[in-house]
Amino acid sequence: MNLKNIEIGSAEEFNVVIEIPAGAAPVKYEMNKEAGVLFVDRFVSTAMSYPANYGFIPNTLSEDGDPADVVVITPYPVAHGSMIKCRPLGVLRMEDESGIDAKIIAIPTKKVCAMYAEVEKIEDLPALQIQQIVHFFENYKKLEKGKWVKLSGIEDAKAAIKEVQDSIDRYK
């Protein structure tokens, strides 16, 4: 897969490449952006499964030097390497041992998944679902030597759109 040929879309509706499906075993996969293949980055020491699909927006650049990270909430797990059109609901602000590491929280577009057609803001999702995502990111690195995470909160869709747009602009 040549990631450079994938259209981003816009900050309001963008393509996400899924690296890790929802419910996946604690294995951290990363896309090798040059080769266009998934590789195993590490086995996560904490016995936790991913609470949602996890991936990135191609042709973007976050503050941590990687493409924008996205947590994609769907009714079913999405396969490794799949691309899904999403819209943002919020952004999880966090920092880790490598620096600022924001996570966009998104759902599929209305055309892709009618189940979320009425969801317009992060508060429209079940509170438990958001708590599970927060809990996962607060704890998934706790047993890994030299790794840490500090969360500073969740912001709304407007902040998420700005984060995506800033990542698009940074890449250019």
Residue boundaries of the structural domains of the chain: 3-171
147: left (phi over 0), alpha (psi -120 to 50) or beta: beta
Task: Write the CA distances from 94 to 39, 42, 81, 153, integer angstroms.
Answer: 24, 20, 25, 7
Based on its alpha-carbon atoms, the radius of gyration of the chain, rounded to whole angstroms, reads: 15
- In tens digits, the chain (172 residues) has pLDDT values of 777 888 889 999 999 999 999 999 999 999 887 788 899 999 999 989 999 999 999 999 999 999 999 999 999 999 999 999 999 999 999 999 989 999 999 999 999 999 999 999 999 999 999 999 999 999 999 999 999 999 999 999 999 999 999 999 999 8
Q: What is the pTM of this model?
A: 0.93
- Would you identify the CATH topology of the domain 3-171? Inorganic Pyrophosphatase (3.90.80)
Measured between its terminal Cα atoms, the distance across the chain in Å is 21
